[in-house]
Amino acid sequence: MRIESQRLDLHNKFIMDYQMEVKDLLAHFDYNPYKENVFKERKKDLKEQQFQRETLADVLHSINQRWSATEATHKNIEKLRDQNSVVVIGGQQAGILTGPLYTINKIVSIISLAKQQEELLGIPVLPVFWIAGEDHDFAEVNHIFLPEETGLRKFSIEDHHKERTAVSQRKLNKEQTYRWLETTFRSLKETAYTKQLFQTLHDKLMTSSTFVDFFASFIHEIFADTGLILVDSGNKEIRQLESTYFHEMIEKQPEISRVVYRSLQSMRTKGYHVSVDANEQDGHLFVEQEGERILLQKDGRNWVGKNNECQYSNQELLEIAKETPERLSNNVVTRPLMQEKLFPTLAFFAGPSEAAYWSILKNAFHSLSLKMPPVLPRVSLTLVDEKLLKLLNKYDIDSISAIDNGVQTQKMNWLSAQASSPVEEMTFQLKEAIKMGHQPLKEVTKDLTDDVSQYADKNLQLLLQQVDKLSKRINKEFSQKYHMQLKEFDYIQMHLKPENGLQERTWNITYFLNHHGFEWVKQINNYTFDWKKQHYIVYL
């Protein structure tokens, strides 16, 4: 396996300026993550915080045991009791079969930096992945895309729960999920790895109660022996640990909402896109009612549902935080604050959009007497297997160009070049000759009635249309003649520019595990990444 760093043309002003260390942007963060010794500085700052290390370790042992974690994970959880230990953390929703590849890329990032910093700092640096089980957007996690011919097919799984039920609370219908798994695997080419992969997923399914269980146990299989620690934000035991933190967020809500709103306006004024809407009335918390999550806003001293579904006084919400904290959950603003309260965070890994919205949270952290951890954009990977590489070489296509722009232009250029004479140029020349030959007849009609003049115009258009029809027929014949070659261009497009985006946003790891097994993931986990490099291509 070969890994190469490359720079893409992503047109992302935030990421470009962030990696170029633009001061006006970095002013929205407590640390410059690319600064030398930044993690030594962060390590020192963490000494001022207190954490529920003992209780948190006990809970993490329990839930990771349920997900069949390896001994390496449990050893790392035990290290969390060490007052000097820190974590590298990042999170994502619990996508079915792990969801898009960017989830895998984020975990790879976490594991890699934790290894690097443990060696440099001489303390336990533990990799932690935060599963956003409290999220209720099931449409984002209920499907994967797999290739069929030269296009991607969406495989979705249905669910009977209420729309706003958290994923952690969505019980798996094992029979239905097994049928979905069978249908999904029928679209995959059978390889030496297929039967074992299917059996592994079947076994994970049979021991899972929820979608989060299924996700977590498969992640532990993929990253076995890395020591990766998983935590479910929707887990009831975790919520019990968060009780006092919810209390603090409720009390500090006016300040949190105010500073977040102002930071958002500042970022927009500076020309950065932040995919979060926020105003000073936002509560930035959810409450569970009749099995559904309801986003709260402030109306004076009261907390009300965004669509007036419920109403609580400040004291009533504080009681919920104390007595039944599992009913409360965080949104994109307060989730990072909760994460910081729970874990001694050396660094946080974010996706591009995620890093942008963290830029509005600095003063929200300060309102809870916290410093925002160093924020690093996760590594971005594109996987290129042997067949794909052969096709790129066959048509002399640069992989970076294909990732940036796709190959549709090269496809049409290649097809045009197969004609002994260029069809498009010949079509243009014939149409110009017809126009010139037709002009004398048009001149004669000037002295005749308007009907004859209009008929001449229509006649010319009909002649030109016939030429276009001939040109299209010729091109169609060429397309049929070179059908296999055109499918190869589509194959490249599907792998490197699917849905006009990066591979990591659409493809799922199951395809690659089916073709190449698990060994390549282990090799990536041993690679030392440079966090200022924008993109890597992995040649499998």
* DSSP annotation string for 490-520: HHHHHHHSGGGS-GGGTBBHHHHHHHH-SHH
pTM here? Answer: 0.89
b/e map 261-272, b = 16+ CB within 10 Å: bebbebbeebeb
C-alpha 422/C-alpha 408 separation (Å) is 18
Q: Which residues form the domain of 460? A: 386-503
- Cα 300 to chain centroid, rounded: 37
* Residue 394 forms part of a structural domain: yes
C-alpha 280/C-alpha 286 separation (Å) is 16
- In contact, 38 and 32? CB cutoff 8 Å: yes
Total count of domains within the chain: 1
Tokens of 456: 């001449």
C-alpha 39/C-alpha 29 separation (Å) is 14
- In contact, 329 and 289? CB cutoff 8 Å: no
* Residue 205 forms part of a structural domain: no
Task: Look at residue 235 and give its three-state secondary structure.
Answer: coil
What number of CA atoms fall less than 13 Å from residue 443's CA on the CB side?
6
C-alpha 385/C-alpha 388 separation (Å) is 5
* Cα-Cα-Cα-Cα dihedral sign, residues 75, 79, 81, 86: negative
**Each residue's pLDDT expressed in tens, for the chain with a length of 540 residues:** 899 998 888 778 999 999 999 999 999 999 999 999 999 999 999 999 999 999 999 999 999 999 999 999 999 999 999 999 999 999 999 999 999 999 999 999 999 999 999 999 999 999 999 999 888 888 889 899 999 877 899 999 988 888 788 888 889 999 999 999 999 999 999 999 999 999 999 999 999 999 999 999 999 999 999 999 999 999 999 999 999 999 999 999 999 999 999 999 999 999 999 988 899 999 999 999 988 899 999 998 899 998 889 999 999 999 999 999 999 999 999 999 999 999 999 999 999 999 999 999 999 999 999 999 999 999 999 999 999 999 999 999 999 999 999 999 998 888 778 765 576 777 787 788 888 888 887 788 877 787 888 888 888 899 889 888 888 887 777 667 778 888 899 999 999 999 999 999 999 999 999 999 999 999 999 999 998 888 999 999
∠ Cα 202 212 327 (to 5°): 150
Give whole-number Cα distances, 156 to 98, 237, 471, in Å: 13, 30, 42
* Residue 14 forms part of a structural domain: no
C-alpha 143/C-alpha 36 separation (Å) is 41
∠ Cα 324 325 327 (to 5°): 80
Nearest residue to 106 (alpha-carbon basis) of 380, 492, 369 = 380
* Residue 88 forms part of a structural domain: no
* Residue 486 forms part of a structural domain: yes
- In contact, 376 and 349? CB cutoff 8 Å: yes
* Residue 307 forms part of a structural domain: no
* Residue 266 forms part of a structural domain: no
Amino acid identity, position 380: S
SS3 content of the chain, % helix, strand, coil (to 5): 55, 15, 30
* Residue 209 forms part of a structural domain: no
